[in-house]
Amino acid sequence: MLSWKCDDDIAAGNDQNVARVSETTRNDHIQPLIRGAGIVRGQNTDGESARIVGTPRRRLHHSAETTADQYGASARDLPADFFSQLTHGLGTRACTTHCNVNPSLCHRLSHIHRIVRMHRVHSERARASRACPSGLRVGLALRAKSGNRRTMKRPIAEFLVITLNAGSEAEQARAEHEAWQILRRKQGYVTHRLYQQLDNPLAHLVYSEWESTKAVDGARQHLQGTPLMRRARATLAGPPQRLLFEISGPITSTKGLDLGDTAVAASGVARLKAPSDSWRLTEQKLWALLASQPGHITHILLRGIGNPLVVGSVSHWADSAAFQTALAQVDGAVGAAAAEALAGPVDYVQYKLLRD
């Protein structure tokens, strides 16, 4: 049947006019693939694939609509070829028919359909975000960040307090340097620093930060029993004191800290009388006061691993005088609250940085 001939009695588009030729959407298909089996009004199409090429009764006309309760798209509502069906039906189905004709093509089209559908979802979310008031967006972002912080693992700080034999400083420095050339390449390493106690030059603090206790224990275990460790132990006057802490404050690392020649570090470790939820607030007030003093550079807060009663801090100052002056400002209600929570006074030790 040609397009100028009427075919008003066949199952068509209910227009009772000249049967139209299906569009080819600029792909130059003379005989477009629309359906290979006859469809009449009231019949459920079920998305069946065409078994033969061509339209019913070999006429170029539109097939009938699907049944009302199926809400499906008939072949007459879709463009003629596979790729046009993809662009026309992205919101519903990537390939309505012909899945049995070329299964691999149908699979590729379905994959593209899923990608485009995800793109639409993201675009709608972006539009909704732009329509959202800026204050609300900031609040939601801060809430999400706060939730991530609660579930994120805190980094670990390791203290190694060592006392050297007199005259072994140079040998110990060489051994320490070689050891950290190995340890800094281990998984989980963050940073490290070597300090010398101000009032006792033979007392050193080896401070390091790690992503987890497993990381620092594994790295230390790697060096145990090696000739390098035997050389390092030979420079010590006694076994080192090792302490592990969880970094608990808002500042979670000292990595990248640039200290001047006169800068000092002050470490302080204390013990709570009993577990207390109010200590965190007291600690925050204490360090808010100290951080406001001249010469303060940065500080981190510590919690003992395996012993929540152990608390501490490591702070950096422009010089020793700045730290002593700031410490003298801790009095009144803040100082009284800290003294009430702790089992004894905090023993602060000052160190100067040793260049590695």
CB atoms within 10 A of CB 46: 8
Residue 213: what pLDDT?
95
Q: Which residues pair with 158 in a beta bridge?
A: 208, 244
17-38 pLDDT per residue, tens: 444 444 444 444 444 444 444 4
CA distance 178 to 229: 10
Q: Is 325 helix (H, G, I), strand (E, B) or coil?
A: helix
- Once rounded to an integer, what is the mean pLDDT over residues 79-83? 44
pLDDT over threshold 60, residue 40: no
pLDDT over threshold 90, residue 302: yes
- The single residue listed with the structure tokens 């009231």 is 42
227-261 pLDDT per residue, tens: 999 999 999 999 999 999 999 988 999 999 999 99
Q: Is 200 helix (H, G, I), strand (E, B) or coil?
A: coil
H helices of the chain, in order, are 82-88, 103-131, 134-151, 169-183, 213-223, 227-234, 279-291, 320-327, 332-341
Domain boundaries of the chain, sorted by first residue: 1-152, 154-354
B/e letters for 226-235, b = 16+ CB within 10 Å, e = fewer, are: eebeeebeeb
B/e letters for 97-112, b = 16+ CB within 10 Å, e = fewer, are: bbbebeeeebeebeee
90-122 pLDDT per residue, tens: 444 444 444 454 566 666 677 777 787 777 777
State the maximum Cα–Cα separation within the chain, in Å, rounded to a whole number: 113
Q: Is 262 left (phi over 0), alpha (psi -120 to 50) or beta?
A: alpha
SS3 percent helix, strand, coil of the chain, rounded to 5, is: 35, 20, 45
Residues in the chain: 356
In percent, how much of the chain has pLDDT > 70? 62
Residue 306: what pLDDT?
86
Task: Please give the model's pTM, rounded to 2 decimal places.
Answer: 0.58
248-300 pLDDT per residue, tens: 988 999 999 999 999 999 999 999 999 888 899 999 999 999 999 999 999 99
Cα separation of the two ends of the chain? 92
For residues 135 and 156, the model is more confident at 156
User: Average pLDDT of the chain?
Assistant: 75
- Residue 217 pLDDT grade (very low, low, confident, very high; cuts 50, 70, 90): very high
- Residue 84 pLDDT grade (very low, low, confident, very high; cuts 50, 70, 90): very low
CA-to-CA dists, residue 324 to 261, 330, 336, angstroms: 18, 11, 19
Residue 185: what pLDDT?
95
CATH fold for the domain made of 154-354: Alpha-Beta Plaits (3.30.70)
Range with the largest mean pLDDT of 35-49, 65-79, 102-116, 197-211: 197-211
The type of residue at 152 is: M
Residue 57 in tokens? 């009764």
